[in-house]
Amino acid sequence: MRRLIALVCRFAARLLFRRVEVADRDRLPRGRPVVLVANHFNGFVDPLVIGAVLGRLPRFVAKAALLSVPLTGFWLRRVGVVFVQRRQDGPTKGNDHAFVECHRALAANDTVAIFPEGTTHDRPRLDPIRTGAARIALGARADGVAGVVVVPVGLTFPDKSALRSSALVQFGEPIEVDEIDEVAPDAGDTDHAAVAELTARIDHGLRSVSLDFADLGSALAMEQAAAVALSAPGRRPPTLEARYDLARSLGRAPSEAQTRVAGALGRYLTLLSGLHLTDTDVVSPTSPRRLLRSAFGIAVLVVLLGGVVAATIVVNAIPAALVAAVSTFVRTPVTKGTVRVLVGLVAFPAAWVTAAIVAADDVGAGLLVVLLAAIGALAAVWLVERAITLTVMLLRWQAQLERARSIELALPARGEVIDAVRAAVPSGELAATAGSRTVTADDGGEAS
Protein backbone atom coordinates (compact mmCIF):
# COMPACT_ATOMS: atom_id res chain seq x y z
CA MET A 1 0.00 0.00 0.00
CA ARG A 2 2.76 2.46 0.95
CA ARG A 3 4.65 1.82 -2.30
CA LEU A 4 1.44 2.36 -4.26
CA ILE A 5 0.83 5.67 -2.47
CA ALA A 6 4.43 6.67 -3.25
CA LEU A 7 3.70 6.07 -6.96
CA VAL A 8 0.66 8.33 -6.64
CA CYS A 9 2.89 10.94 -4.98
CA ARG A 10 5.37 10.69 -7.85
CA PHE A 11 2.63 11.14 -10.45
CA ALA A 12 1.17 14.11 -8.55
CA ALA A 13 4.64 15.67 -8.24
CA ARG A 14 5.13 15.40 -12.01
CA LEU A 15 1.87 17.27 -12.53
CA LEU A 16 2.60 19.83 -9.83
CA PHE A 17 6.27 20.55 -10.60
CA ARG A 18 8.22 21.17 -13.76
CA ARG A 19 11.34 19.84 -12.09
CA VAL A 20 12.25 18.17 -8.80
CA GLU A 21 15.97 18.15 -8.05
CA VAL A 22 17.35 15.64 -5.56
CA ALA A 23 20.79 16.32 -4.09
CA ASP A 24 23.00 13.92 -2.11
CA ARG A 25 20.50 11.07 -2.11
CA ASP A 26 23.37 8.72 -1.22
CA ARG A 27 23.37 10.18 2.30
CA LEU A 28 20.17 8.25 3.01
CA PRO A 29 21.16 4.83 4.45
CA ARG A 30 19.38 1.68 3.29
CA GLY A 31 18.41 -1.24 5.48
CA ARG A 32 18.77 0.78 8.68
CA PRO A 33 16.42 2.49 11.15
CA VAL A 34 16.14 6.09 9.90
CA VAL A 35 14.48 9.11 11.46
CA LEU A 36 13.94 11.58 8.62
CA VAL A 37 13.61 15.21 9.75
CA ALA A 38 12.46 17.85 7.25
CA ASN A 39 11.53 21.51 7.22
CA HIS A 40 7.85 22.28 6.72
CA PHE A 41 7.55 25.23 4.34
CA ASN A 42 4.82 24.00 1.97
CA GLY A 43 2.00 22.24 3.80
CA PHE A 44 0.73 18.95 2.36
CA VAL A 45 3.14 19.31 -0.57
CA ASP A 46 6.08 18.50 1.73
CA PRO A 47 5.11 14.87 2.52
CA LEU A 48 4.00 14.38 -1.09
CA VAL A 49 7.47 15.35 -2.38
CA ILE A 50 9.22 13.19 0.22
CA GLY A 51 7.09 10.20 -0.73
CA ALA A 52 7.78 10.79 -4.43
CA VAL A 53 11.55 10.99 -3.88
CA LEU A 54 11.84 8.02 -1.52
CA GLY A 55 9.74 5.69 -3.68
CA ARG A 56 8.08 4.30 -0.56
CA LEU A 57 6.02 6.22 1.93
CA PRO A 58 7.77 6.52 5.31
CA ARG A 59 5.88 6.38 8.60
CA PHE A 60 5.01 10.06 8.84
CA VAL A 61 4.39 11.60 12.26
CA ALA A 62 1.49 14.07 12.03
CA LYS A 63 -0.63 16.20 14.35
CA ALA A 64 -3.67 14.48 15.84
CA ALA A 65 -5.83 17.46 14.79
CA LEU A 66 -5.97 15.91 11.29
CA LEU A 67 -8.13 13.13 12.69
CA SER A 68 -11.01 15.58 12.96
CA VAL A 69 -11.03 16.17 9.17
CA PRO A 70 -13.70 13.94 7.56
CA LEU A 71 -12.23 10.77 5.96
CA THR A 72 -8.68 12.14 6.33
CA GLY A 73 -7.88 10.29 9.54
CA PHE A 74 -9.07 6.96 8.15
CA TRP A 75 -6.93 7.14 5.02
CA LEU A 76 -3.86 8.52 6.79
CA ARG A 77 -3.95 5.64 9.27
CA ARG A 78 -4.23 3.22 6.34
CA VAL A 79 -0.93 4.50 4.94
CA GLY A 80 0.88 4.25 8.27
CA VAL A 81 0.73 7.80 9.62
CA VAL A 82 1.43 8.05 13.36
CA PHE A 83 -0.58 10.75 15.15
CA VAL A 84 0.72 12.80 18.07
CA GLN A 85 -0.98 15.42 20.19
CA ARG A 86 0.82 18.79 20.16
CA ARG A 87 1.04 20.79 23.38
CA GLN A 88 -0.85 23.73 21.90
CA ASP A 89 -3.72 21.40 20.94
CA GLY A 90 -4.27 19.74 24.32
CA PRO A 91 -2.87 17.16 26.76
CA THR A 92 -0.03 15.00 25.39
CA LYS A 93 -0.44 12.01 27.73
CA GLY A 94 -1.68 9.80 24.91
CA ASN A 95 1.53 10.21 22.90
CA ASP A 96 3.22 7.24 24.58
CA HIS A 97 1.47 4.86 22.19
CA ALA A 98 2.62 6.94 19.20
CA PHE A 99 6.23 6.75 20.37
CA VAL A 100 5.93 2.98 20.77
CA GLU A 101 4.65 2.76 17.18
CA CYS A 102 7.67 4.72 15.95
CA HIS A 103 10.05 2.51 17.94
CA ARG A 104 8.49 -0.62 16.39
CA ALA A 105 8.87 0.83 12.92
CA LEU A 106 12.53 1.64 13.53
CA ALA A 107 13.11 -1.83 14.97
CA ALA A 108 11.93 -3.18 11.60
CA ASN A 109 14.51 -0.94 9.82
CA ASP A 110 11.70 1.29 8.59
CA THR A 111 11.87 5.06 8.08
CA VAL A 112 10.01 7.45 10.38
CA ALA A 113 9.57 10.98 8.99
CA ILE A 114 8.79 13.99 11.12
CA PHE A 115 8.58 17.75 10.64
CA PRO A 116 10.23 18.92 13.87
CA GLU A 117 9.07 22.53 13.57
CA GLY A 118 5.62 21.24 14.48
CA THR A 119 3.78 23.46 11.98
CA THR A 120 3.94 24.68 8.39
CA HIS A 121 4.62 28.31 7.51
CA ASP A 122 5.81 30.84 4.90
CA ARG A 123 8.79 32.22 6.81
CA PRO A 124 12.20 31.91 5.05
CA ARG A 125 13.80 30.23 8.06
CA LEU A 126 13.18 27.35 10.42
CA ASP A 127 10.93 27.77 13.40
CA PRO A 128 12.39 26.50 16.71
CA ILE A 129 12.95 22.74 16.50
CA ARG A 130 10.83 20.60 18.84
CA THR A 131 12.29 17.68 20.75
CA GLY A 132 10.04 14.98 19.27
CA ALA A 133 12.52 13.69 16.67
CA ALA A 134 15.32 13.39 19.23
CA ARG A 135 13.03 11.64 21.71
CA ILE A 136 11.90 9.13 19.06
CA ALA A 137 15.49 8.32 18.08
CA LEU A 138 16.78 8.05 21.67
CA GLY A 139 13.70 6.16 22.82
CA ALA A 140 14.14 3.59 20.04
CA ARG A 141 17.79 3.12 20.98
CA ALA A 142 16.87 2.68 24.64
CA ASP A 143 14.39 -0.02 23.52
CA GLY A 144 17.26 -1.93 21.92
CA VAL A 145 17.17 -0.66 18.33
CA ALA A 146 20.77 -0.51 17.11
CA GLY A 147 22.21 1.83 14.49
CA VAL A 148 19.54 4.55 14.60
CA VAL A 149 20.46 7.41 12.26
CA VAL A 150 18.82 10.82 11.87
CA VAL A 151 18.89 12.30 8.35
CA PRO A 152 18.01 15.99 7.80
CA VAL A 153 16.14 16.81 4.58
CA GLY A 154 15.80 20.34 3.25
CA LEU A 155 12.78 21.12 1.04
CA THR A 156 13.08 24.31 -0.99
CA PHE A 157 10.43 25.75 -3.32
CA PRO A 158 11.47 28.80 -5.40
CA ASP A 159 7.85 29.74 -6.10
CA LYS A 160 5.12 28.15 -3.99
CA SER A 161 2.38 30.16 -5.70
CA ALA A 162 3.07 29.02 -9.28
CA LEU A 163 1.10 26.15 -10.76
CA ARG A 164 4.26 24.66 -12.30
CA SER A 165 7.51 25.49 -10.54
CA SER A 166 10.55 23.64 -9.24
CA ALA A 167 11.50 21.94 -6.00
CA LEU A 168 14.79 21.01 -4.38
CA VAL A 169 15.19 18.06 -2.02
CA GLN A 170 18.57 18.11 -0.25
CA PHE A 171 19.70 15.32 2.05
CA GLY A 172 21.97 16.55 4.84
CA GLU A 173 24.78 14.82 6.70
CA PRO A 174 23.44 11.78 8.62
CA ILE A 175 23.59 12.01 12.42
CA GLU A 176 24.70 8.68 13.90
CA VAL A 177 22.99 8.58 17.28
CA ASP A 178 25.37 5.93 18.65
CA GLU A 179 28.42 8.03 17.78
CA ILE A 180 27.53 11.24 19.65
CA ASP A 181 30.15 11.50 22.40
CA GLU A 182 28.02 13.85 24.51
CA VAL A 183 25.17 11.32 24.63
CA ALA A 184 25.63 8.38 27.01
CA PRO A 185 25.13 4.90 25.46
CA ASP A 186 22.21 4.22 27.80
CA ALA A 187 20.54 7.63 27.38
CA GLY A 188 16.84 7.45 26.47
CA ASP A 189 14.06 9.88 25.69
CA THR A 190 13.78 10.95 29.34
CA ASP A 191 17.41 12.09 29.52
CA HIS A 192 16.95 15.84 29.09
CA ALA A 193 20.63 16.55 28.40
CA ALA A 194 20.79 13.87 25.70
CA VAL A 195 17.55 15.08 24.10
CA ALA A 196 18.81 18.67 24.10
CA GLU A 197 22.14 17.66 22.52
CA LEU A 198 20.54 15.60 19.76
CA THR A 199 17.93 18.31 19.12
CA ALA A 200 20.72 20.88 18.74
CA ARG A 201 22.45 18.64 16.19
CA ILE A 202 19.20 18.15 14.28
CA ASP A 203 18.69 21.93 14.28
CA HIS A 204 22.19 22.49 12.88
CA GLY A 205 21.83 19.76 10.25
CA LEU A 206 18.44 20.98 9.09
CA ARG A 207 19.59 24.60 8.82
CA SER A 208 22.46 23.50 6.58
CA VAL A 209 19.99 22.33 3.91
CA SER A 210 17.07 24.74 4.49
CA LEU A 211 16.36 28.40 3.93
CA ASP A 212 17.70 30.31 6.93
CA PHE A 213 17.24 34.05 6.46
CA ALA A 214 15.98 36.81 8.74
CA ASP A 215 13.32 37.95 6.28
CA LEU A 216 11.93 37.21 2.82
CA GLY A 217 13.67 40.19 1.22
CA SER A 218 17.08 38.92 2.31
CA ALA A 219 16.28 35.41 1.11
CA LEU A 220 15.21 36.59 -2.34
CA ALA A 221 18.14 38.99 -2.72
CA MET A 222 20.79 36.43 -1.77
CA GLU A 223 19.24 33.73 -3.98
CA GLN A 224 19.06 36.05 -7.00
CA ALA A 225 22.63 37.24 -6.41
CA ALA A 226 23.76 33.62 -6.23
CA ALA A 227 22.01 32.83 -9.52
CA VAL A 228 23.78 35.76 -11.21
CA ALA A 229 27.19 34.79 -9.80
CA LEU A 230 26.85 31.15 -10.86
CA SER A 231 25.63 31.85 -14.42
CA ALA A 232 28.16 32.34 -17.19
CA PRO A 233 28.24 32.16 -20.99
CA GLY A 234 28.64 28.61 -22.24
CA ARG A 235 27.81 27.09 -18.85
CA ARG A 236 24.68 25.13 -18.05
CA PRO A 237 22.22 26.98 -15.81
CA PRO A 238 23.13 26.47 -12.14
CA THR A 239 21.27 23.78 -10.27
CA LEU A 240 18.92 24.70 -7.47
CA GLU A 241 21.34 23.04 -5.08
CA ALA A 242 24.21 25.28 -6.18
CA ARG A 243 22.05 28.41 -6.03
CA TYR A 244 20.73 27.79 -2.54
CA ASP A 245 24.05 26.57 -1.14
CA LEU A 246 25.63 29.84 -2.26
CA ALA A 247 22.62 31.84 -1.06
CA ARG A 248 23.00 30.30 2.42
CA SER A 249 26.72 31.15 2.38
CA LEU A 250 25.82 34.74 1.55
CA GLY A 251 23.29 34.71 4.37
CA ARG A 252 26.09 33.81 6.81
CA ALA A 253 28.32 36.65 5.56
CA PRO A 254 28.79 39.85 7.65
CA SER A 255 25.91 42.29 7.38
CA GLU A 256 28.10 44.85 5.59
CA ALA A 257 28.94 42.30 2.89
CA GLN A 258 25.27 41.36 2.50
CA THR A 259 24.39 45.04 2.15
CA ARG A 260 26.94 45.44 -0.65
CA VAL A 261 25.59 42.37 -2.44
CA ALA A 262 21.99 43.58 -2.11
CA GLY A 263 22.96 47.06 -3.32
CA ALA A 264 24.82 45.79 -6.38
CA LEU A 265 21.96 43.42 -7.20
CA GLY A 266 19.40 46.22 -6.83
CA ARG A 267 21.31 48.46 -9.24
CA TYR A 268 21.67 45.63 -11.76
CA LEU A 269 18.00 44.63 -11.62
CA THR A 270 16.93 48.28 -11.93
CA LEU A 271 19.08 48.62 -15.04
CA LEU A 272 17.66 45.41 -16.53
CA SER A 273 14.12 46.59 -15.85
CA GLY A 274 14.78 49.92 -17.53
CA LEU A 275 16.37 48.21 -20.54
CA HIS A 276 13.54 45.63 -20.69
CA LEU A 277 16.01 42.75 -20.38
CA THR A 278 16.52 39.73 -18.15
CA ASP A 279 19.73 38.27 -16.77
CA THR A 280 19.32 35.36 -19.18
CA ASP A 281 19.32 37.84 -22.09
CA VAL A 282 22.66 39.15 -20.87
CA VAL A 283 24.47 35.94 -20.03
CA SER A 284 22.87 33.37 -22.33
CA PRO A 285 21.07 34.93 -25.31
CA THR A 286 18.71 32.74 -27.30
CA SER A 287 20.21 31.39 -30.51
CA PRO A 288 18.41 30.27 -33.71
CA ARG A 289 19.81 26.81 -33.06
CA ARG A 290 18.09 26.62 -29.66
CA LEU A 291 14.86 27.84 -31.20
CA LEU A 292 14.96 25.20 -33.92
CA ARG A 293 15.82 22.47 -31.41
CA SER A 294 12.94 23.49 -29.16
CA ALA A 295 10.51 23.67 -32.10
CA PHE A 296 11.63 20.23 -33.30
CA GLY A 297 11.14 18.80 -29.80
CA ILE A 298 7.58 20.13 -29.67
CA ALA A 299 6.84 18.72 -33.12
CA VAL A 300 8.04 15.28 -32.02
CA LEU A 301 5.92 15.46 -28.84
CA VAL A 302 2.86 16.48 -30.87
CA VAL A 303 3.34 13.49 -33.17
CA LEU A 304 3.90 11.06 -30.29
CA LEU A 305 1.42 12.39 -27.75
CA GLY A 306 -0.98 14.65 -29.64
CA GLY A 307 -3.51 11.89 -30.19
CA VAL A 308 -3.62 10.96 -26.50
CA VAL A 309 -3.99 14.62 -25.51
CA ALA A 310 -6.78 15.19 -28.03
CA ALA A 311 -8.61 12.05 -26.93
CA THR A 312 -8.48 12.93 -23.24
CA ILE A 313 -8.65 16.71 -23.29
CA VAL A 314 -12.32 16.86 -22.30
CA VAL A 315 -11.76 14.43 -19.41
CA ASN A 316 -8.79 16.37 -18.02
CA ALA A 317 -9.93 19.91 -18.77
CA ILE A 318 -12.61 19.97 -16.05
CA PRO A 319 -10.42 18.85 -13.09
CA ALA A 320 -7.54 21.03 -14.32
CA ALA A 321 -9.82 24.07 -14.45
CA LEU A 322 -11.17 23.19 -11.01
CA VAL A 323 -7.68 23.01 -9.49
CA ALA A 324 -6.70 26.33 -11.09
CA ALA A 325 -9.94 28.04 -10.05
CA VAL A 326 -9.85 26.86 -6.44
CA SER A 327 -6.21 27.86 -5.97
CA THR A 328 -6.97 31.43 -7.09
CA PHE A 329 -9.15 31.87 -4.01
CA VAL A 330 -6.31 30.88 -1.67
CA ARG A 331 -4.17 33.86 -0.72
CA THR A 332 -1.55 32.25 1.52
CA PRO A 333 1.33 30.69 -0.49
CA VAL A 334 1.86 27.84 1.98
CA THR A 335 -1.81 26.84 1.59
CA LYS A 336 -1.99 27.04 -2.22
CA GLY A 337 0.01 23.87 -2.76
CA THR A 338 -2.01 21.96 -0.16
CA VAL A 339 -5.29 22.96 -1.78
CA ARG A 340 -4.05 22.08 -5.28
CA VAL A 341 -2.85 18.65 -4.17
CA LEU A 342 -5.99 17.77 -2.23
CA VAL A 343 -8.38 19.01 -4.94
CA GLY A 344 -6.32 17.36 -7.68
CA LEU A 345 -6.13 14.02 -5.87
CA VAL A 346 -9.92 13.97 -5.79
CA ALA A 347 -10.88 15.73 -9.04
CA PHE A 348 -8.59 13.98 -11.53
CA PRO A 349 -9.25 10.37 -10.44
CA ALA A 350 -12.98 11.14 -10.20
CA ALA A 351 -12.96 12.44 -13.80
CA TRP A 352 -10.99 9.43 -15.03
CA VAL A 353 -13.26 6.91 -13.29
CA THR A 354 -16.35 8.70 -14.61
CA ALA A 355 -14.95 8.54 -18.14
CA ALA A 356 -14.20 4.82 -17.68
CA ILE A 357 -17.76 4.12 -16.51
CA VAL A 358 -19.25 6.02 -19.46
CA ALA A 359 -16.91 4.72 -22.18
CA ALA A 360 -15.99 1.17 -21.13
CA ASP A 361 -18.01 -2.04 -21.06
CA ASP A 362 -15.80 -4.06 -18.70
CA VAL A 363 -13.18 -3.63 -15.99
CA GLY A 364 -10.21 -4.16 -18.31
CA ALA A 365 -11.38 -1.54 -20.76
CA GLY A 366 -12.18 0.80 -17.87
CA LEU A 367 -8.65 0.51 -16.49
CA LEU A 368 -7.30 1.27 -19.95
CA VAL A 369 -9.42 4.44 -20.11
CA VAL A 370 -8.11 5.53 -16.69
CA LEU A 371 -4.51 4.88 -17.78
CA LEU A 372 -4.93 6.80 -21.04
CA ALA A 373 -6.53 9.70 -19.21
CA ALA A 374 -3.62 9.84 -16.75
CA ILE A 375 -1.06 9.74 -19.57
CA GLY A 376 -3.06 12.39 -21.40
CA ALA A 377 -2.91 14.70 -18.38
CA LEU A 378 0.88 14.45 -18.21
CA ALA A 379 1.24 14.78 -21.98
CA ALA A 380 -0.96 17.89 -22.05
CA VAL A 381 1.15 19.51 -19.34
CA TRP A 382 4.36 18.75 -21.24
CA LEU A 383 3.01 20.05 -24.56
CA VAL A 384 1.54 23.27 -23.14
CA GLU A 385 4.66 23.95 -21.10
CA ARG A 386 7.01 23.50 -24.03
CA ALA A 387 4.80 25.60 -26.29
CA ILE A 388 4.91 28.42 -23.73
CA THR A 389 8.69 28.02 -23.43
CA LEU A 390 9.10 28.28 -27.20
CA THR A 391 6.89 31.37 -27.35
CA VAL A 392 8.90 33.06 -24.59
CA MET A 393 12.15 32.16 -26.36
CA LEU A 394 10.90 33.74 -29.59
CA LEU A 395 9.92 36.94 -27.77
CA ARG A 396 13.24 37.10 -25.90
CA TRP A 397 15.16 36.47 -29.13
CA GLN A 398 13.39 39.39 -30.79
CA ALA A 399 14.14 41.59 -27.78
CA GLN A 400 17.79 40.55 -27.80
CA LEU A 401 18.16 41.37 -31.50
CA GLU A 402 16.64 44.80 -30.98
CA ARG A 403 18.60 45.55 -27.80
CA ALA A 404 22.03 44.10 -28.57
CA ARG A 405 23.74 47.36 -27.56
CA SER A 406 21.69 47.51 -24.36
CA ILE A 407 22.99 44.08 -23.33
CA GLU A 408 26.54 45.46 -23.45
CA LEU A 409 25.49 48.34 -21.19
CA ALA A 410 24.31 45.88 -18.53
CA LEU A 411 27.57 43.91 -18.31
CA PRO A 412 29.46 46.28 -15.94
CA ALA A 413 26.57 46.28 -13.44
CA ARG A 414 26.44 42.50 -13.63
CA GLY A 415 30.16 42.36 -12.93
CA GLU A 416 29.61 44.44 -9.77
CA VAL A 417 27.16 41.81 -8.47
CA ILE A 418 29.66 39.02 -9.09
CA ASP A 419 32.47 40.98 -7.41
CA ALA A 420 30.28 41.66 -4.35
CA VAL A 421 29.39 37.97 -4.08
CA ARG A 422 33.04 36.91 -4.37
CA ALA A 423 34.02 39.38 -1.66
CA ALA A 424 31.25 38.14 0.66
CA VAL A 425 32.09 34.42 0.70
CA PRO A 426 35.39 32.53 0.94
CA SER A 427 36.80 31.75 -2.51
CA GLY A 428 36.97 28.02 -1.75
CA GLU A 429 33.32 27.99 -0.75
CA LEU A 430 32.29 29.75 -3.96
CA ALA A 431 34.38 27.37 -6.07
CA ALA A 432 32.86 24.33 -4.35
CA THR A 433 29.37 25.66 -4.95
CA ALA A 434 30.03 26.44 -8.61
CA GLY A 435 31.54 23.00 -9.21
CA SER A 436 29.63 19.99 -10.33
CA ARG A 437 27.51 18.30 -7.67
CA THR A 438 25.54 15.05 -7.76
CA VAL A 439 21.98 16.09 -8.52
CA THR A 440 19.20 14.02 -10.06
CA ALA A 441 16.05 15.39 -11.60
CA ASP A 442 12.72 13.63 -11.32
CA ASP A 443 11.31 15.72 -14.15
CA GLY A 444 12.66 17.51 -17.17
CA GLY A 445 13.26 21.17 -17.76
CA GLU A 446 15.46 23.84 -16.28
CA ALA A 447 15.18 25.02 -12.72
CA SER A 448 13.26 28.19 -12.23
Residue 241 within any structural domain of the chain: yes
Instruction: Single out the residue in 159, 180, 207 at which a domain terminates.
Output: 207
Phi first, then psi, for residue 233 (nearest 5°) are -55, 135
> Given a cut of 60, is residue 435 above it in pLDDT?
no
Question: Which of residues 74 and 252 earns the better pLDDT score?
Answer: 252
Average pLDDT of 252-280? Answer: 95
Phi first, then psi, for residue 82 (nearest 5°) are -105, 125
Question: Is residue 11 domain-shared with residue 160, that is, in the same domain?
Answer: yes
- Cα–Cα distance for residue pair 349/86, rounded to 1 Å: 33
Share of the chain above pLDDT 90, in %: 68
Q: Identify the pLDDT of residue 444.
A: 39
Question: Is residue 425 domain-shared with residue 394, that is, in the same domain?
Answer: no
Q: Identify the pLDDT of residue 90.
A: 59
Instruction: Single out the residue in 155, 180, 207 at which a domain terminates.
Output: 207
* Banded model confidence at residue 74, pLDDT cuts 50, 70, 90: confident
> Given a cut of 60, is residue 436 above it in pLDDT?
no
Question: Is residue 397 domain-shared with residue 424, that is, in the same domain?
Answer: no
Average pLDDT of 215-239? Answer: 93
Complete DSSP assignment for 286-326: --HHHHHHHHHHHHHHHHHHHHHHHHHHHHHHHHHHHHHHH
Q: Identify the pLDDT of residue 350.
A: 95
Question: Is residue 199 domain-shared with residue 167, that is, in the same domain?
Answer: yes
Q: What is the pLDDT of residues 208-220, one digit of tens each?
A: 999 999 899 999 9
Complete DSSP assignment for 379-445: HHHHHHHHHHHHHHHHHHHHHHHHTHHHHHHHHHHHHHHHHHHHHHS-HHHHHHHHS---EEESS-S
Residue 134 within any structural domain of the chain: yes
Average pLDDT of 412-428? Answer: 91
> Given a cut of 60, is residue 91 above it in pLDDT?
no
Q: Give Cα separations from 441 to 29, 107, 345, 446 (angstroms).
A: 20, 32, 23, 10
Q: What is the pLDDT of residues 115-149, one digit of tens each?
A: 999 889 999 999 999 999 999 999 999 999 999 99
Residue 446 within any structural domain of the chain: no
Phi first, then psi, for residue 198 (nearest 5°) are -65, -35
Q: Provide the terminal-to-terminal Cα distance of the chain, rounded to the nearest Å.
A: 33
Write down the mean pLDDT value for the chain: 90
Residue 132 within any structural domain of the chain: yes
Question: Is residue 188 domain-shared with residue 294, that is, in the same domain?
Answer: no
Q: Identify the pLDDT of residue 136.
A: 96
* Banded model confidence at residue 448, pLDDT cuts 50, 70, 90: very low
- Cα–Cα distance for residue pair 312/366, rounded to 1 Å: 14
Question: Is residue 36 domain-shared with residue 168, that is, in the same domain?
Answer: yes
> Given a cut of 60, is residue 358 above it in pLDDT?
yes
- Full domain range(s) for residue 345: 288-402
CA atoms lying within 13 Å on the CB side of residue 119: 10
Q: Which helix (H) or strand (E) holds 350?
A: helix 333-359
Q: 84, 64 in Cβ contact below 8 A?
A: yes
Residue 431 makes CB contacts below 8 A (sequence gap 6+) with none
Residue 447 within any structural domain of the chain: no
Question: Is residue 54 domain-shared with residue 32, that is, in the same domain?
Answer: yes
Lowest mean pLDDT among 22-31, 326-335, 416-425: 326-335
Question: Phi-psi bin for 90: left (phi > 0), alpha (psi -120 to 50), beta?
Answer: left
For residue 60, the cross-strand partners are: 113
Smallest CA-to-CA distance from 388 within 233, 234, 164 is with 164
Q: At 162, is the secondary structure helix, strand, or coil?
A: coil
Average pLDDT of 47-69? Answer: 88
Q: How many CB atoms lie within 10 A of CB 331?
A: 8
* Banded model confidence at residue 445, pLDDT cuts 50, 70, 90: very low
Going by their DSSP bridges, the two strands 165-171 and 149-156 should be labelled as antiparallel
* Banded model confidence at residue 1, pLDDT cuts 50, 70, 90: confident
- Cα–Cα distance for residue pair 286/137, rounded to 1 Å: 52
Q: What is the pLDDT of residues 373-404, one digit of tens each?
A: 999 999 999 999 889 989 999 999 998 888 88
Q: 312, 374 in Cβ contact below 8 A?
A: no
Domains contained in the chain, number = 3
Phi first, then psi, for residue 170 (nearest 5°) are -115, 125
Question: Is residue 304 domain-shared with residue 249, that is, in the same domain?
Answer: no
Instruction: Single out the residue in 164, 185, 207 at which a domain terminates.
Output: 207
Note the maximum CA span of the chain. 72
Going by their DSSP bridges, the two strands 439-441 and 175-176 should be labelled as unpaired
Sign of CA dihedral 20, 23, 29, 30: positive
Smallest CA-to-CA distance from 60 within 74, 70, 48, 42 is with 48
Question: Is residue 52 domain-shared with residue 88, that is, in the same domain?
Answer: yes
Q: How many CB atoms lie within 10 A of CB 123?
A: 15
Burial class (CB in 10 A: 0-12, 13-18, 19+), 9: buried
Question: Is residue 329 domain-shared with residue 416, that is, in the same domain?
Answer: no
> Given a cut of 70, is residue 154 above it in pLDDT?
yes
Share of the chain above pLDDT 70, in %: 93
Question: Is residue 308 domain-shared with residue 388, that is, in the same domain?
Answer: yes
The model carries a pTM of 0.90
Residue 283 within any structural domain of the chain: no
- Cα–Cα distance for residue pair 386/356, rounded to 1 Å: 29
- Cα–Cα distance for residue pair 390/277, rounded to 1 Å: 17
Residue 366 within any structural domain of the chain: yes
Question: Is residue 308 domain-shared with residue 222, that is, in the same domain?
Answer: no
> Given a cut of 70, is residue 59 above it in pLDDT?
yes
Phi first, then psi, for residue 399 (nearest 5°) are -65, -40
CATH of the domain at 165: 3.40.1130.10
Question: Which of residues 39 and 181 earns the better pLDDT score?
Answer: 39
Residue 282 within any structural domain of the chain: no
